[in-house]
Amino acid sequence: MRKFLLIALKDLKLSFRDTAALLMMLAAPFALTLGMGAVTGRFSGSSSTGLSDIPVILINQDGGELGNALVEMFSSADLADLIEPSTGTDPVDARAKVDADEAATVILIPAGFTNSIIPVQGSLPGDPVQIEIYSNPTRPNSVGVVKTILEQFLSQVEVGRIGGQVAVTELLTSGLITPDQAAAVGQSVGQSQANDTTSSIAIRQVTASGEEVKFDVLAYIAPGMALMFLMFTVTYGGRSLLVEQAAGTLPRLLVSPTTGSQILAGKIFGIFLTGVAQLLILIGGTTLMFQLNWGNPLPVILMVLASVLGATGWGVLLTALLKTPGQAGAIGSAVMLIFGILGGSFTNMQLLPAPIQFISRITPNYWGLQGFTTLAAGGKFNGIVTPLLWLLGMFLVLFIIGAALFSQRGLGKK
């Protein structure tokens, strides 16, 4: 058997004999997935979506068409499983309920909201007003869902407003209406668009074949946790090279008829094997324990391999830069957490500021999560091509840099 493979298999065996490492590689992501799943109501059994009956308090101070349309939309049958709306009049009281964790958000529709978009006949549009959302920080996923629905509504309203303007301009230019009639026509078009919003917003995801897919929040949490702790595994694997240096086994390998490249290849392949084993165990475990559907097995395996490759690239680079096992342990943990946060393991990426979303692309967590959630939502191979290419490219770039650094450092030779 080739020596690099023997070294890799030895490392795989050692990783799975290290109780502390096993806790971090398997127990911790399982426990966090379980915990976050419980927080989001995934295990309550009340809904197949995981997130269900999100308590939302609506305070409609507007009373116009758009304000009413927004309240109606949150109360619609389409969102009945997902949202548990209630109406209120006192913002202070509503915020207190959010603070007491009795509600996920308060949506305050201020007076003049409709008028700011659809002017009353014979008058100019009012000053712009803003819908206020008061959010419960302990329910980030629920808040994310509510914000997404609200954004879709506002987007639809904006489309209606622009559509109305364009329509009125066209009618005026073509002489079909007079300037006196323009305001009435604009209001009519705007109201018509507003009334359409309810039907345009529905959370329904289908596969290419038209089969409906119910998105499971665990399909976001589980890969998020798995990918975060995958970073632990790769830094732990990289650290093992430094541990071997300190423990004398690396110098011993270097005086055996084994080349430095065989040793390095073996260590890197060992990291890769351990990462693959970790992800496969987590996928198998969450499938069996939580009935989580990760998607089509073949693309899922491709995503596993690519995610581990991308993460391994980081492991190689970090190991090449660091000098002692202690450094690798501390910095590895920090990188695991930072990549977890940046890559979306803890929160919906859409809630993060745009610059953070941009930076997150350097993490294997981000691309892994993109791929896994796509597959869990019924996506096929063509839906994960971009994450696969990014992860592969990430590995190649980081591996080349790491290998160059190792080449300068010369493993344990002096």
Residues within the interface to another protein (CB under 8 A): 1, 3, 6, 10, 13-14, 17-18, 247-249, 251-259, 412-414
Give the nearest distance from C-beta 236 to another protein in angstroms: 13
Nearer to another protein, 175 or 257 (CB): 257
Nearer to another protein, 85 or 266 (CB): 266
Give the nearest distance from C-beta 246 to another protein in angstroms: 10
Give the nearest distance from C-beta 2 to another protein in angstroms: 10
Nearer to another protein, 6 or 171 (CB): 6
Nearer to another protein, 112 or 270 (CB): 270
Give the nearest distance from C-beta 257 to another protein in angstroms: 4
SS (H, E, C) the chain: CCHHHHHHHHHHHHHHHCHHHHHHHHHHHHHHHHHHHHHCCCCCCCCCCCCCCEEEEEEECCCCHHHHHHHHHHCCHHHCCCEEEEEECCHHHHHHHHHCCCCCEEEEECCCHHHHHCCCCCCCCCCCCCCEEEECCCCHHHHHHHHHHHHHHHHHHHHHHHHHHHHHHHHHHCCCCCHHHHHHHHHHHHHHHHHHHHHHCCCCEECCCCCEECCCCHHHHHHHHHHHHHHHHHHHHHHHHHHHHHHCHHHHHHCCCCCHHHHHHHHHHHHHHHHHHHHHHHHHHHHHHHCCCCCCHHHHHHHHHHHHHHHHHHHHHHHHHCCCHHHHHHHHHHHHHHHHHHCCCCCCHHHCCHHHHHHHHHCHHHHHHHHHHHHHCCCCHHHCHHHHHHHHHHHHHHHHHHHHHHHHHCCCCC
391's CB contacts (< 8 A; 6+ apart) are: 306, 307, 309, 310, 364, 367, 368, 371
Nearer to another protein, 182 or 254 (CB): 254
Give the nearest distance from C-beta 5 to another protein in angstroms: 10
Give the nearest distance from C-beta 244 to another protein in angstroms: 9
Q: How far is CA 305 from the centre of its chain?
A: 19
Nearer to another protein, 204 or 413 (CB): 413
Nearer to another protein, 7 or 57 (CB): 7
Give the nearest distance from C-beta 300 to another protein in angstroms: 31
Give the nearest distance from C-beta 18 to another protein in angstroms: 7
Nearer to another protein, 243 or 331 (CB): 243
Question: At which residue do the structure tokens 């490249």 appear?
Answer: 261
Nearer to another protein, 3 or 97 (CB): 3
Give the nearest distance from C-beta 269 to another protein in angstroms: 15
Tell me how far apart the alpha carbons of residues 395 and 215 are, in angstroms, rounded to a whole number.
30
Return the amino acid letter for 82.
L
